[in-house]
Amino acid sequence: MTLFRQLLLFILILILTLFTVSWVTRLQATRTYLQQQLQSHAQDTATSLGLTISAYSAQDDMAAAETIVNTIFDRGYYRLIVLRDLDGQVRIKRSVEVAMDTVPAWFIHLVPLEPPRATAGIMNGWFQAGTILVESHPGFAYSSLWDTTVNMTRWYLLLAALACLAGGMGLRLLLRPLARVEDQARALSQRRFEIQEPLPRTRELRQVVQAMNQTTLRVKTMFEEQARTAQQLRRQAYSDPLTNLGNRRYLENQVASWMDRPGTEIRGAFLLVHITGLKELNEEKGFQAGDERIQAVADLLRARTGGIPGAAVARLTGGDFGVFLPDTGLDEASHVADAICQRFWDQGAENHPLSDTGSIGGVVFGRKTSFSSLLAGADSALQAASGKGPNQWVIRRIPTRIEDVVRGRIGWKKVLEQAIAEEAIVLFGQACVALNDPQRVLHREILARLRESDGGLLRAEQFVPLAHRLGLITRLDRSVVEKTMALTKEQAGADQLAINISPTSLADGPFTTWLLARLEETGRDRPRLIFEFTEFAAVHHLELLAELGRRIRDLGHGYGIDHFGQGFANFGYLKSLQPDYVKIDRAFTRELVSAGSDSHFFIHSLCSVAHSLGIAVHGEGVETTDQHLLLRGLSLDGLQGYHLDQPREIA
């Protein structure tokens, strides 16, 4: 029972007690008063009759005496009048039965009134001639007492109701600070740090609110310190402090994690961007001018590759930048390099510091290639680009023993449109299992494949980047979601299914409207859906994702953050989003070689921050036994990877 109800019940009991005591006291006082009035009334009547009849007693005029008695009795206030002589003989008698139809019998029994009797003498001169007996009728007293009691009860009940209403309103007003403290505590359990202002005037409540505010601020400070510690560690280990891009270690991990994915086609591009004349600029205008040029190039590369899924940019040395473009062919890589160089020329026309900035060399690959080989090939192409003049680029293809299937832009668009129209999407699923119980499936992530006309399957890594560039990704996401929603729990082999949604679809209003409408139609026999968004989508569409996530949760489903740690976003956005879970990017899992490594400490710090917000943490890309054993020593909630479960076709 709530404190409000307890206090209200106490007030009700108190009012009832006061009402009962007052009611009984008032009733008893009224009864005593009426009893006295009856006694006085009977005595006055007896005395009056005695004096009046005595005047006729000397003439022995009983007729006149009887007339007087009848006149008095007929008024209705008497139950009995008896005139006796000295011998006790009844000379005159009038009586009536007591009838009180307007008063309940239980009330008469509860509040008895004894009808009083009074006597007076009848004189004949100096001698007594007889006696007169008068007994009052109690009916009028009972009727008066009943009416008084009913009216008194009504007034008391009305006053009690008004007192309860006023007390309840007063209690709500007085307890409002406690209700806000309850909301504040609930918000704190949900990792929302709310401060209650203004403070209540009541001293005790003020102290409680102040203590709660201090606790909230202390917990908020602890969370922010944890987040800063983890963020600083990640930046120190994987970030370039001048540009806030990744460093060589970060880029090497991104490339290696991409190359190590089992069962997938390996293809992509690697660009090496070199700033020309940086040493001379530092000597001529100082290091600040050189730093400004480096930061300008970093901003340009960040802006140009921001919309490419999985792209990673890093500063390798003083004036060299590396750009990794997964699932990118020669045409797409050439387009990116040409756009960057064209921007160099455009800025030069505006007398911007990027004029005559440098050269770009790159390679495209279609098989597993080491980072050093990519760097060597890009460096060779860079030398060729430098020989062509300022702001030039050269991109070469690394020879491969496996001939790629080459399709032009129009060919790929036809393939994708036909696959979507004919619903040639095949769903595979890979389990994310509990850390300490690999047999317990937390959810199964949906992996889409496209079935070609010859029966072969194209993996997502092959067609998703193309779908992005061809403007078909939203249609593709819609088809995958639609087919996933048709699965039952038995078909899915899990109670929860995770579906990846692209940033483009997240920002597409008609898509999100359709998605919410379809979720409302989902039956209870269907799996709970968890929509995964990349960290890039979370950071760049924070408000959109927060609103969509809230509405998804209202419909009984959930959402998570995928590839967490791939960018360098501040951990603070987790507090705003409150996703069901985050999945650590496979680059950190791959680098996890010992309990003392930076990745180990980063994952441990991330778990502390996420768990303090009530967010689960899953590790993906678990491919080896050593990785599994090291991750089991951390505070993760779930693991996913080929070492634990192979993707299998489910629809």
Does residue 428 sit in the same domain as residue 383?
A: no
The token pair at 24 is 């009984």
Nearest C-alpha neighbor of 473 from the set 460, 457, 489, 483: 460
Q: What is the pLDDT of residue 406?
A: 43
Local confidence band at 539 (pLDDT 50, 70, 90 cut-offs): confident
Q: What is the pLDDT of residue 263?
A: 60
Residue 516, judged by CB atoms within 10 A of its CB (0-12, 13-18, 19+), counts as middle
Does residue 419 sit in the same domain as residue 462?
A: yes
Query: Tens of pLDDT along 192-227?
Result: 777 877 877 777 777 888 888 888 888 777 777 777
Of 209-218, 341-350, 480-489, 587-596, the one with minimum mean pLDDT is: 341-350
Of 350 and 336, the one with more pLDDT: 336
Which H helix or E strand runs over 361? strand 358-365
The answer to whether position 189 is within a domain reads: no
At residue 367, φ and ψ (nearest 5 deg) are -155, 170
Vertex 629: Cα angle to 625 and 634 (nearest 5): 145
Residue 387, judged by CB atoms within 10 A of its CB (0-12, 13-18, 19+), counts as exposed
Residue 533's DSSP bridge partners are: 561
The residue segments making up the domain with residue 451 are 409-649
Does residue 430 sit in the same domain as residue 360?
A: no
Of 95-99, 254-258, 291-295, 321-325, the one with minimum mean pLDDT is: 95-99
- Is residue 315 within 8 Å of residue 240, measured between CB atoms? yes
- Is residue 537 within 8 Å of residue 545, measured between CB atoms? yes
Please report where in the chains the tokens 């203590």 appear, as a residue: 211
Picking from 133, 161, 189, the residue at the C-terminal end of a domain is 161
- CA–CA separation, 306 vs 353, rounded Å? 22
Q: What is the pLDDT of residue 555?
A: 92
Q: What is the pLDDT of residue 356?
A: 55
Nearest C-alpha neighbor of 188 from the set 154, 136, 159, 223: 223
The token pair at 332 is 């797409």
Q: What is the pLDDT of residue 515?
A: 94
Q: What is the pLDDT of residue 107?
A: 82
Assess whether pLDDT exceeds 80 at residue 371.
yes
Local confidence band at 499 (pLDDT 50, 70, 90 cut-offs): very high
Picking from 113, 135, 161, the residue at the C-terminal end of a domain is 161
CA quadruple 411, 416, 417, 418: dihedral, nearest 10: 90
Q: What is the pLDDT of residue 593?
A: 66
Assess whether pLDDT exceeds 80 at residue 639.
yes
DSSP per-residue letters across 304-341: HHTTSTT-EEEE-SSSEEEEEEET--HHHHHHHHHHHH
What average pLDDT is seen over the chain? Answer: 82
Does residue 457 sit in the same domain as residue 393?
A: no
Nearest C-alpha neighbor of 56 from the set 68, 73, 44: 68
The answer to whether position 201 is within a domain reads: no
The answer to whether position 439 is within a domain reads: yes
Please report where in the chains the tokens 């990792």 appear, as a residue: 191
Does residue 355 sit in the same domain as residue 453?
A: no
Q: What is the pLDDT of residue 596?
A: 63
Does residue 270 sit in the same domain as residue 149?
A: no
The answer to whether position 184 is within a domain reads: no
Assess whether pLDDT exceeds 50 at residue 402.
no
Q: What is the pLDDT of residue 403?
A: 35
The token pair at 508 is 């597409």
Picking from 372, 397, 422, the residue at the C-terminal end of a domain is 397
Q: What is the pLDDT of residue 351?
A: 47
Residue 521, judged by CB atoms within 10 A of its CB (0-12, 13-18, 19+), counts as exposed
Q: Which is it for the CA torsion 367, 371, 374, 377, positive or negative?
A: negative
Does residue 109 sit in the same domain as residue 254?
A: no
Assess whether pLDDT exceeds 70 at residue 404.
no
Q: What is the pLDDT of residue 469?
A: 72
Local confidence band at 1 (pLDDT 50, 70, 90 cut-offs): low
- CA–CA separation, 433 vs 138, rounded Å? 89
Residues 275-290 as b/e (b if ≥16 CB within 10 A, e otherwise) read bbebeebbeeeeeeeb
- CA–CA separation, 458 vs 325, rounded Å? 19
Query: Residue 523: which residues within 8 A CB-CB, separation 6 or more?
Result: none
Give the count of domains, the chain: 3
Query: Residue 372: which residues within 8 A CB-CB, separation 6 or more?
Result: none
CA quadruple 290, 296, 299, 304: dihedral, nearest 10: -120
Of 186-195, 500-509, 560-569, the one with minimum mean pLDDT is: 186-195
Does residue 372 sit in the same domain as residue 459?
A: no
Does residue 280 sit in the same domain as residue 338?
A: yes
Please report where in the chains the tokens 């993760």 appear, as a residue: 636
Q: What is the mean pLDDT of residues 581-589?
A: 86
At residue 92, φ and ψ (nearest 5 deg) are -140, 135
Q: Please report, for the domain that includes residue 622, its CATH number.
A: 3.20.20.450
Q: What is the 3-state secondary structure (H, E, C) of 212-235?
A: HHHHHHHHHHHHHHHHHHHHHHHH
Assess whether pLDDT exceeds 50 at residue 405.
no
At residue 585, φ and ψ (nearest 5 deg) are -60, 140
Assess whether pLDDT exceeds 70 at residue 410.
no
Q: Three-state DSSP class for 358? A: strand
The answer to whether position 404 is within a domain reads: no
Local confidence band at 570 (pLDDT 50, 70, 90 cut-offs): low
Residue 38, judged by CB atoms within 10 A of its CB (0-12, 13-18, 19+), counts as buried
Q: What is the mean pLDDT of residues 399-411?
A: 49
Does residue 368 sit in the same domain as residue 457?
A: no
Does residue 325 sit in the same domain as residue 448?
A: no
Q: What is the mean pLDDT of residues 406-411?
A: 56
Q: Three-state DSSP class for 618? A: strand
Taking the CA atoms of the chain, what radius of gyration do you get in angstroms?
Answer: 48
Nearest C-alpha neighbor of 603 from the set 629, 571, 634, 642: 634
Local confidence band at 582 (pLDDT 50, 70, 90 cut-offs): very high
Q: What is the mean pLDDT of residues 567-586?
A: 81
Q: What is the pLDDT of residue 382?
A: 87
Nearest C-alpha neighbor of 272 from the set 308, 312, 323: 323
The token pair at 58 is 């000397």
Query: Tens of pLDDT along 47-99?
Result: 888 888 887 776 677 788 888 888 888 876 788 889 888 888 888 888 887 66
Q: Please report, for the domain that includes residue 100, its CATH number.
A: 3.30.450
Local confidence band at 583 (pLDDT 50, 70, 90 cut-offs): very high
The answer to whether position 622 is within a domain reads: yes
Of 208-217, 315-324, 497-506, 549-558, the one with minimum mean pLDDT is: 208-217
Q: Please report, for the domain that includes residue 258, its CATH number.
A: 3.30.70.270
Q: Three-state DSSP class for 84? A: strand
Please report where in the chains the tokens 């980063």 appear, as a residue: 602
Does residue 389 sit in the same domain as residue 424?
A: no
Query: Tens of pLDDT along 126-156?
Result: 778 889 898 888 877 888 888 888 888 888 8
Vertex 640: Cα angle to 636 and 645 (nearest 5): 140
The answer to whether position 175 is within a domain reads: no
- Side-chain-side CA neighbours of 264 within 13 Å: the count stands at 23
Q: What is the pLDDT of residue 99?
A: 66
Q: What is the pLDDT of residue 349?
A: 43
> How far from each other are the two terminal CA atoms of the chain, in whole angstroms?
51
Please report where in the chains the tokens 């008895």 appear, as a residue: 112
The answer to whether position 77 is within a domain reads: yes
Highest mean pLDDT among 96-105, 276-285, 487-496, 505-514: 505-514
Assess whether pLDDT exceeds 50 at residue 281.
yes
